[in-house]
Amino acid sequence: MSQAPSGHAGRRNFLKTLSSGALMAVVPLAGRTAPVDADAVRVDGDWAVSLDRADRGIAQAWFNKPLQQPVSVRDALPAQGLGDAVTLDTGWTASLANKAFFTAPEYAPYRAAGNVKVPFFLQPDTVYVGAAWFQREIVIPRGWAGRHAVVSLERPHWETQVWIGGRHVGRNDSLHTAHIYDLGTLAPGKYLLTIRVDNRLHTDIGSDSHGISDHTQGNWNGIAGKIELSARRPVWVDDLQVYPDVRTRRVVLKGALGNASGRAGAGRLTVTGGGAVHKIPVRWDAQGGVFETAVQFPTDAGLWDEFSPTLHTVSVKLDDGSAADVRFGFRELKTAGTQFMLNGRPLFLRGTLECCIFPQTGHPPTEIGEWRRILKIARAYGLNHLRFHSYCPPKAAFDAGDEAGFYFQIETCWANGSTTIGDGKPVDAWVMAETARVLKAYGNHPSFMLMPYGNEPGGKNHSAWLAQYVRHFAAVDTRRLWTSGSGWPELAENQYHVEQQPRIQQWGEELKSRVNARPPETVTDYRGFIVARKVPVVSHEIGQWCVYPDFDERSQYTGYLKPKNFDIFEDKLDASGLRALAPAFLHASGRLQTMLYKEDIESALRTPGMGGFQLLDLHDFPGQGTALVGVLNPFWREKGYVDAAEFSRFCGPTVVLARLPKRVFGNRDTLRAQIDVAHSGARALGASTVYWRLESSGRVLDQGEFAVAGVAQGTGVPLGAIDVKLGAIERAAKCRLVAGLRSPQLAAPVENDWDVWVYPDAPDTASPVKVVNSVAAALPLLAQGATVLLGLPPASVRPFETHPVKLGLSTIFWNTLWTQGQGPTTMGVLCDPAHAALADFPTDAHSNWQWWHVLHRAAPLRLDLLPRSVDPIVRVIDDWHTARSLGLVIEARVGTGRLIACGFELDGPPASDPVSRQLRRSLAAYAASPRFTPRTALSEEMVKALVA
C-alpha cells in the first residue's frame, strides 16, 4: 500500500493541472447529449488498413495514398489475424509480478518458438501495439450542403487522428468516450477519410489499468461500436444535462449550443417533457452559447431505483431542427452518517467488479443486449451494483443499467506500478480531462451513481492531489457521490470510502486471517471500523477466493483471447497423474469458495450502518497470474457447483442471518443463536414471523418460530434469539440450521442456512490399534504386524524444497503467481464421504468449516515420494501452478503391518477438540475392522521419506 504524502506538493500539482489546456473540457455541465439527426449514416464495416510498424505514416503522408488490405473495422485487429505472433520478446501492456516463466525449467516447453504459452493471462494469437491506419471513401450528398460533416467513432482504442481529403482534422485521446470530429463544410462528392489509431501508452495511465491491460481485455488496436457520419447544422445543441429534483419532480435543464458559423445569433428552443411543451429564447455568440430552463413533471412521477427503475424523457429542439433528448430517472443519492440514502431510504450496495473481461472481442460490448444479459445474471445472484475497475464502459452498459435499476461505480485508470498520480506526470491532466469527458458523455444516466479517480493510487503526493480531485468534481457534479480512490486513500474530502480493511483476508495476511487462524463462527462484523468513520464505507474487493481451473471451459473461447494458460495447468496436472481428478478438484474447491464468499458477504451484512461491499469477483479474472476467483467463468456462465438460487440465499435485498459463536458442539451443549436480518428492500416490513429449524440427513430435529412487530431497513437488524438443546443427537452429525422470515410485504419467505456439527460427549473405547506420533515409533510396530495410526506433527512432515505448501482452511487468495506464493497455497480437501474410514466422521467431499480444527494444525504428505497407486483417504488439492499430489490421510501395507498415516497429530492437546477426537475415533474404528485392507505396499524407506 502506498504511503500518504505530506500534502503541499500534491495540491500544487493539482492546481498546475487545473491551469493547463488539458482541462478545457472541464465544465459544470456533466452529461452527454444523444444527437437526434436524421442526416446520419453508419460507415462501419470494411475499411482498408495498414499497420505502421515503423511509425512512418505521418511523415510519408499515408493519408494521401490509398491503403489496400480490407478488414472489418468494428473488430479488434488482432482478432482478425493482424499483428505479430506471440514470442518471448512480445511487449505486453501489463506488469508481470512473477518472471519465473522466462527462466524456470518447468516452463521451458512453453517458451519454444511457435508454442509460446504464457501463464499470466488469456492470450491472443497475434499482438500489435503501434499505429494502424484505416481508410475508406465517403460520399457527401447534395442535401448536406451548407452543413458540417461530422464523423463519430464510438470506442476507439486508443488515440486517434483524422484526415479528410488529406487535411488534418484533429486528435483525441479519450479511452472511454466517443471521438467526434468536425470535418467542416464539404461540397457534395467523394472524399478519402483516413483514421490513424494508436494503442501505445502515449500517456502512461498505469499498464495494469483494465481499459488497456493484457491482464483483462488485451491492448487491442481498432474501433469498436458505431462509426457514424452525420450532417450538423451550423448552430446545434452540443450538450444537454438534466438535474432532477426528487421532492418537487422538477427537472432543471442546462445546455450548451455549438456554433460553427462564426456569427452571433438568436433563436427559440422548444422544450418537451412532463406532458408539456414550452419555448424559450436562446442566444449565442461566435463561439456558442448556453441555456437553462426547467420542466415540471407530475408530482407522482415515478422514482428510479432497483425496485422500480422508472425512466423519463426530456427533449429540446432549435428552430432550425437541431435537437437532443435525454432519458433520465428521478433519483437522489445522499448520505446520512455512514449510510447511503437513495430517494430517502437506506441503500446497501451488493456489488461485484467488472474488469473489462470480454474474451470473445477484447473490448466491452457496445450493444445493449449483452449488458442486459450480464445484469440479469448479476441480479439473479442478489447483486445491485457493479464497480467498473479502472475503466468506464460504453453507453450500452449505462442504458442497460438504467433499465435494470443497477448502481454503477465508474473509474478512469489505475495509476500505480508503471506510473503515479499527483506527481505532475501526464496522467494527472489525462485523468482530469477524462473524468470531464465521462461526465459529459454519461452524466445523465441514473445508473451512474459513484466515482473515484480509479483504483489503488500510487505516488508520494497522491493523497493531496486526490483531495483536490474530489473537491473539484463534487462541486462540478452533485448528481453522484465522489471518493478519492478504490482501496485508498481515506480522506476527509471523500463523500464515501472504499476500504480494504473490512474483509476476511488481507494482502499478506496469509494463514493469520480470521478464517485460517481462528475457529469458525458467524459473529464477527465490522461495526468497530464503521463507527469510527463519518461517511459510508464500501468494503474493497472482498473475497478473491480461487477455484480450480475448469478445463472443459476452453471450448467456449472461440474469439480473440484464448486460454493457453489452461494448457500449461493441464499439462502439470497430467504430469502428476492427476488429470482425471480435475472435475472433482473443480467441484470441491468451488464448494469451499462458495462457503468463503458466504461468510465474507454475511460479515458485511451483519454490520450495522455499513454502506456495502464489492466482490472480487462474481466471475473469473483471467489475468494477473490467472485469478480464478469467480463462481462464474469469464463469460458469466455457471461452473456447476453453485447456482443463483443458492447464492441469493445469502446475497440479496433481504437476508436472514444467524450469529453463532461456534459451529462445533457437543451433544450436551445448547446451540444458541441470535437471529438478525439485513433488509434493504423498497420499504420496511410490518408484522412478520421468524421461523427456524435444525435438520440433519433430511430429518427435522427441532423447530420453532416467533413474531416480530416489524423489520426496519438496514443491516445487522436484530430479530430475536433461539436456544436448541442437542441432547437427542446420539451419533456424530452434520446439521443444518435454517432460519427464515415471512411477511405480507415479501413476495415469498426468505431463508438462509448454516452448517453446524454435533459430536457425542463419550469416552474413547479400547482399541487394538496403536496410535503413535513418529515414524520411528511406527516402524517397529509395523514390523511386528501391528495396525498403526500414525499422527505426524506438522513440523516433522517432509516439505518441498521449492514452493513450500502452506495449508489452511481457506482456498488460495487471488493466486500464488501474483502474490509470490502467499498462503494458503492449497484449495481444500477432497475425500469420499462414503469411505469406511469416515463412517463415523460426517463430512462432505470437500472442505467445510469443521475441517478447520484439523487443517490449521496439519501439513500435507508428499505423495510424489510414494507409488501412484496410493489413493489417499483424504487428499489435499494443490495450487494449479504446481499441481502436486498431496495427502492428508493415507493408508498402506508396510511389511506385515497396516498403516494409516496422517499429516496431523492424533492425540495430546493439539487433538483435544471435538472434531479431531471424532476423526481419530472414526479412523481407529476403520483400522480395527475387517474392511481395512490397504491395496498398496510401502517399504520402510518410503515411510521414512514422509518425514524430514
Q: What gap in Å lies between CA 862 and CA 860, rounded to an integer?
A: 6
What is the band of 854 on the pLDDT scale with cuts at 50, 70, 90?
A: very high
pLDDT digits (tens, 9 = 90+) for 612-628: 999 999 999 999 999 99
Q: What gap in Å lies between CA 170 and CA 293, rounded to an integer?
A: 33
pTM for the whole structure = 0.95
Q: In whole angstroms, how far apart are CA 463 and each of 18, 485, 490?
A: 17, 9, 8
- Nearest residue to 867 via CA among 771, 807, 945, 790: 945
Question: Kind of pairing, strands 385-388 and 407-409?
Answer: parallel
Tell me, what DSSP letter sits at residue 632?
A: B
User: Which amino acid belongs to residue 744?
Assistant: P
Q: Are 631 and 589 in contact (CB under 8 A)?
A: no
In degrees and rounded to multiples of 5, residue 794 shows phi and psi of -60, -30
State residue 36's pLDDT score: 39
Query: Which residue has cell 502506498?
Result: 2
- Nearest residue to 849 via CA among 472, 572, 595, 656: 595
Cis? peptide before 824, omega within 30° of 0:
yes
Tell me the mean pLDDT in the region 785-806: 97
pLDDT digits (tens, 9 = 90+) for 802-853: 999 999 999 999 999 999 999 999 999 999 999 999 999 999 999 999 999 9
- Nearest residue to 33 via CA among 281, 241, 304: 241
Tell me the pLDDT of the chain averaged across its residues: 94
pLDDT digits (tens, 9 = 90+) for 636-658: 999 999 999 999 999 999 999 99
State residue 75's pLDDT score: 76
Q: In whole angstroms, how far apart are CA 552 and each of 118, 125, 162, 628?
A: 19, 20, 44, 14
Q: Are 392 and 442 in contact (CB under 8 A)?
A: yes
Tell me the mean pLDDT in the region 686-710: 97
Tell me the mean pLDDT in the region 504-527: 97
Q: Are 151 and 226 in contact (CB under 8 A)?
A: no
In degrees and rounded to multiples of 5, residue 21 shows phi and psi of -65, -20
State residue 205's pLDDT score: 98
In degrees and rounded to multiples of 5, residue 202 shows phi and psi of -65, -35
Contacts of 512 (CB under 8 A, 6+ apart): none
Q: What gap in Å lies between CA 138 and CA 46, rounded to an integer?
A: 12
What is the band of 763 on the pLDDT scale with cuts at 50, 70, 90?
A: confident
What is the band of 74 on the pLDDT scale with cuts at 50, 70, 90?
A: confident
Tell me the mean pLDDT in the region 387-410: 98
Q: Which three cell numbers stand for residue 227?
A: 462509426
Question: Kind of pairing, strands 561-562 and 612-616?
Answer: unpaired
In degrees and rounded to multiples of 5, residue 443 shows phi and psi of -65, -20
**Other residues' Cβ atoms within 10 Å of the Cβ of residue 487:** 22
Q: In whole angstroms, how far apart are CA 137 and each of 52, 61, 163, 164, 808?
A: 20, 17, 12, 10, 63
State residue 641's pLDDT score: 98
Q: Report CA torsion sign: 606, 611, 617, 619.
A: positive
Q: Which SS3 state, helix, strand or coil, does residue 735 take? A: strand
Contacts of 167 (CB under 8 A, 6+ apart): none
Q: Is the confidence at residue 741, as pLDDT, over 70?
A: yes
Cis? peptide before 851, omega within 30° of 0:
no
Question: Kind of pairing, strands 179-185 and 885-894?
Answer: unpaired
Q: Which three cell numbers stand for residue 376?
A: 440479469
- Nearest residue to 243 via CA among 291, 317, 295, 191: 295
886 dihedral zone (left: phi>0; alpha: psi -120 to 50; beta): beta
Instruction: Based on DSSP, count helices (H) and strands (E) in the chain, helices before strands.
Output: 15, 50
Q: What gap in Å lies between CA 212 and CA 752, rounded to an integer?
A: 41
State residue 526's pLDDT score: 98
End-to-end CA distance of the chain: 37
Q: What gap in Å lies between CA 18 and CA 874, rounded to an integer?
A: 63
Tell me, what DSSP letter sits at residue 684?
A: -
Q: Which three cell numbers stand for residue 147?
A: 452543413
The dihedral formed by the CA atoms of 567, 572, 576 and 580, expressed in degrees to the nearest 10: -20
Contacts of 377 (CB under 8 A, 6+ apart): 632, 636, 644
Tell me the mean pLDDT in the region 895-900: 98
State residue 2's pLDDT score: 35
Q: Is the confidence at residue 10, as pLDDT, over 70?
A: no
What is the band of 70 on the pLDDT scale with cuts at 50, 70, 90?
A: confident
Q: What gap in Å lies between CA 544 and CA 505, rounded to an integer?
A: 8
Q: Is the confidence at residue 895, as pLDDT, over 90?
A: yes
Cis? peptide before 489, omega within 30° of 0:
yes
Q: Is the confidence at residue 688, as pLDDT, over 80?
A: yes
Q: Is the confidence at residue 126, as pLDDT, over 60?
A: yes
